[in-house]
């Protein structure tokens, strides 16, 4: 009888782990980025987020999970980028003193920053995409798929000192260990 319970418990744990992996993979969000996000003209590329994220649309503080805009930050130095982010914060978010710049940017890349400024393409105009992490401090994997003139040059992260929450797999492991502890305890009572 104990062996049957152990097999059932192991099967339930395996199913729960498979479901958590499936849910994590299904959460990918694709955002199309345009030179003109209102008129949907001048498509520049697609940003894929592994979890909840949004992109600055057409007005300061207005972020969208489906359509984003490209803006001008020139020259693209840390001072100008910080000023741009602070001028376009989501209502209620605190301003930043500075950001952390990674050049050249890996693609894809993972971050837990609240704001991610992506420099795409060359030139002096329409060269910046601003992303907001909507996971409440969680980790995002971002992938940029731009047209030939819109390759990813660098990223600047703002608010990157946010703690990363325990992943769902960790919670499943703790639950499984608790279940095994209960099974061992019951086995000792029977013996």
pLDDT tens over the chain, length 191 residues? 555 454 444 544 544 444 444 444 446 999 999 999 999 999 999 999 999 999 999 999 999 999 999 999 999 999 999 999 999 999 999 999 999 999 999 999 999 999 999 999 877 889 999 999 999 889 999 999 998 778 999 999 999 643 334 445 555 556 666 666 676 677 777 66
Q: 78: Cβ–Cβ under 8 A, 6 or more apart, which residues? A: 98, 99, 101, 156
Q: Cα(87)–Cα(65) distance, rounded to whole angstroms?
A: 20
pTM, whole model, 2 decimals?
0.71
* Domain ranges (residues) in the chain: 28-158
Cβ neighbours around 29 below 10 Å, total? 17
**Contact present, 90 and 61 (Cβ < 8 Å):** yes
Q: Cα(59)–Cα(108) distance, rounded to whole angstroms?
A: 27
């Amino acid at each position: 009888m104990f062996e049957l319970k152990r097999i059932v418990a192991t099967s339930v744990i395996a199913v729960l782990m498979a479901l958590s992996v499936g849910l994590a993979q299904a959460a990918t969000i694709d955002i199309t980025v345009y030179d003109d996000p209102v008129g949907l003209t001048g498509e520049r590329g697609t940003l894929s987020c592994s979890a909840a994220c949004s992109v600055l649309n057409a007005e300061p503080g207005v972020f969208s999970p489906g359509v984003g805009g490209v803006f001008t930050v020139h020259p693209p130095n840390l001072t100008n980028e910080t000023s741009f982010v602070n001028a376009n914060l989501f209502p209620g978010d605190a301003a930043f003193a500075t950001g952390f710049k990674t050049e050249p940017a890996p693609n894809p890349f993972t971050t837990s920053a609240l704001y991610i400024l992506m420099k795409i393409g060359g030139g002096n105009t329409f060269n910046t995409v601003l992303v907001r992490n909507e996971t409440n401090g969680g980790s995002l994997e971002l992938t940029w798929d731009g047209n030939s003139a819109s390759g990813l040059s660098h990223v600047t992260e703002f608010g990157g000192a946010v703690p990363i929450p325990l992943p769902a797999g960790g919670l499943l492991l703790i639950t499984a260990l608790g279940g095994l502890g209960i099974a061992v305890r019951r086995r000792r009572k029977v013996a």
